[in-house]
Chains A and B, each alone.
Chain A
Amino acid sequence: MEHITLLLAIVIVTALVFDFTNGFHDTANAMATTISTGALKPKTAVAMSAVLNLIGAFLSVEVAKTISGGIVNEDGLRTEVIFAALVGAILWNLLTWLVGLPSSSSHALFGGLIGAAVMSAGWSSIDGGTVVTKVLLPAIAAPLVAGLAALLATRLTYRINRKVTDEGQLKSTAKGYRAGQIASAGLVSLAHGTNDAQKTMGIITLALVTGGVLAPGSNPPVWVIVSAGVAIALGTYLGGWRIIRTMGSGLTELRPPQGFAAQTSAATVILASSHLGFSLSTTQSCSGAVMGAGLGRKGGVVRWSTATRMFIAWGLTLPAAGLVGAGAELLTKQGSWGVAVVAVLLVAGSGAIWLLSRRKPVDHTNVMDTQEAEPAGVVTMAMAAVTPPPTGTAVMEFESTIPAPAGTTADPARPATV
């Protein structure tokens, strides 16, 4: 490891941080419905997901050969560009977590990479057609496929079940649904660990190759595999409670049969798509499945205002992460001091988002208190976070109009320092 330069070390750490944010951003995919239907206790659910993520990271040795799968021309990609791309992806992941919206971590990474590559080598380094086929089309297809499957499955299970009225029998079937749901959620976690931890391994390996530490085409060293697996598992265990709340109870209200149908649909779509060569985003499949299951039950309601905000976030993912990536690349281009500035900005930005999140903490204790989640507060925070300049004042107003709930750890003295 003696040949690892400071820049390379920074990129590796940043890649692991991205892996970590990926973990806690995507816990919701596997476990949100499991938690909201009561199949597992919140802490148990994230622990199980974390373990399966870790196992998943070691399951397959077929590490992603490219970061972007052909969207960006990766020949001669400089290490600084990878760094800038990661910065864009991390900040977008944190921002969407702050406002509690599920969005694809892979798309955030693609966006950061596109922005950084364009800034570095011009528009010719982007394959526009691949952007459409690998990002835009799947973003439309994933929720439709998963949603329709979950909708039909929910209808079917309620139809088969409609004659069951006996109290004891109902209890027994609910238990069965929960068990089935846990199995499907486990599959999603496993698949997530394999896919996404390998993406990070791919990034680190690519950076090591670019930096001349590894020969081109070599497999990732063991320490890369272990650290990527551990980072994503830790992130998952931390739990992105804000996103879990949105997916588990914000989009629609789920009962055990619906949760089972949704999670089974998500697992099937994810496995089918990665196996049949038309990759769909895990996050988008899961969100679609949850909405489909919500519509499938008689009297089920999907909260379209929340769904619309989620769709907007999906649409913004590429451009927003791209802009940050481009800005970061503009700075890193200037030389070592630019890299240092970007690193400092990344830490400061992440810290600021974390501080903002402490004003209204969501954790395993209050993750399912929906009445607290839905009112204007979320919208206000979304607006505040999406429009950067007036953030300070908007959040101040928000804080002054809605008193912090008792027992939060928000420190009233802190805001002045933000």
Chain B
Amino acid sequence: MKIDWAALASVFGVSLVVTVALVGLFTLGIIGLSKQAATATAGSAGSFALARAGAYLCFGLCAAAVTYGIYLIVV
């Protein structure tokens, strides 16, 4: 019986890092967008274009991860 501890450890590490990173990014993204929605009504302009760009960047990274996931399923 040979247990592949290295594979198990890498599954553990990769899953942990990727999940936390993705959830963190996505959360930042939706908060960035929601700030914009909340303050647009209040009327203050300025750095919200930045928040918005940041949000889209976060979503872009998440989309890239999903694309890579689909690539893994197909290949």
Residues of A bordering B, CB below 8 Å: 56, 59-60, 128-130, 132-133, 137, 141, 145-146, 148-150, 152-154, 156-157, 160-161, 164, 166, 168-170, 172-173, 175-177, 180, 183, 187, 190-191, 194, 257, 260-261, 264-265, 267-269, 271-278, 280
- Complex Cα distance, B11 from A276, in Å, reads 6
- Is B19 touching A149 in the complex (CB atoms < 8 A)? yes
Residues B23 and A164 in contact, CB atoms below 8 Å apart: no
Expressed in whole angstroms, the Cα–Cα distance for A169 and B30 within the complex equals 9
Contact in complex: B37, A156 (CB < 8 Å): no
- Contact between chains at B28 and A183 (CB < 8 Å): no
Q: A41 to B27: give the CA distance in the assembly, Å.
A: 23
Once the chains bind, are A271 and B24 in contact (CB under 8 Å)? no
Chain B residues within 8 Å of A, Cβ to Cβ: 1-4, 7-8, 10-12, 14-16, 18-20, 22-24, 26-31, 33-35, 37-38, 41, 62, 66, 69-70, 72-75
- Chain B contacts for A191, CB-based, 8 A: 69, 73
CB of B20 within 8 A of CB of A133, answer no
**Cross-chain contact A152 with B16 (CB below 8 angstroms):** yes
Q: With A56-B73, A59-B73, A172-B37 known to touch, is A149 a contact of B8 (CB < 8 Å)?
A: no
Given that A187-B66, A191-B73, A268-B18 are contacting pairs, would A176 and B29 also be in contact in the complex, using a CB cutoff of 8 Å? Answer: yes
Contact among A172, A265, A276 with B33 in the assembled complex (CB-CB below 8 Å): A172
Query: In angstroms, how far is the closest chain A Cβ from the Cβ of B19?
Result: 4
Which one of B11, B29, B31, B41 has the highest number of Cβ atoms from chain A below 10 Å of its Cβ? B11
CB pair A141–B16 under 8 Å, yes or no, is no
Collect the chain B residues with CB atoms within 8 Å of residue A173's CB.
30-31, 34
Q: Which of A141, A271, A274, A276 contacts B10 (CB 8 A)?
A: A276
Chain A residues with CB under 8 Å of B28's CB are: 160
The CA of A193 and the CA of B22, in the complex, are separated in Å by: 23
| Shortest Cβ distance from residue A134 to the other chain B in the assembled complex, whole angstroms | 10
Contacts of B29 in A (CB 8 A): 176
B4 & A146 in contact (Cβ 8 Å cutoff): no
Q: Contact partner of B41 among A130, A168, A272, CB < 8 A? A: A168
CB of A176 within 8 A of CB of B30, answer yes
Q: How far is the CA of A160 from the CA of B70 in the complex (A)?
A: 28
Identify B11's interface contact among A59, A128, A183, A269, CB under 8 A. A269
21 of the cross-chain contacts (CB-CB < 8 Å) are A133-B1, A133-B3, A146-B15, A157-B27, A160-B24, A160-B28, A166-B38, A172-B30, A173-B30, A180-B30, A180-B62, A183-B66, A191-B73, A260-B23, A264-B19, A271-B69, A272-B11, A276-B11, A278-B7, A278-B8, A280-B11
Residues of B within 8 A of A160 (CB): 24, 27-28, 31
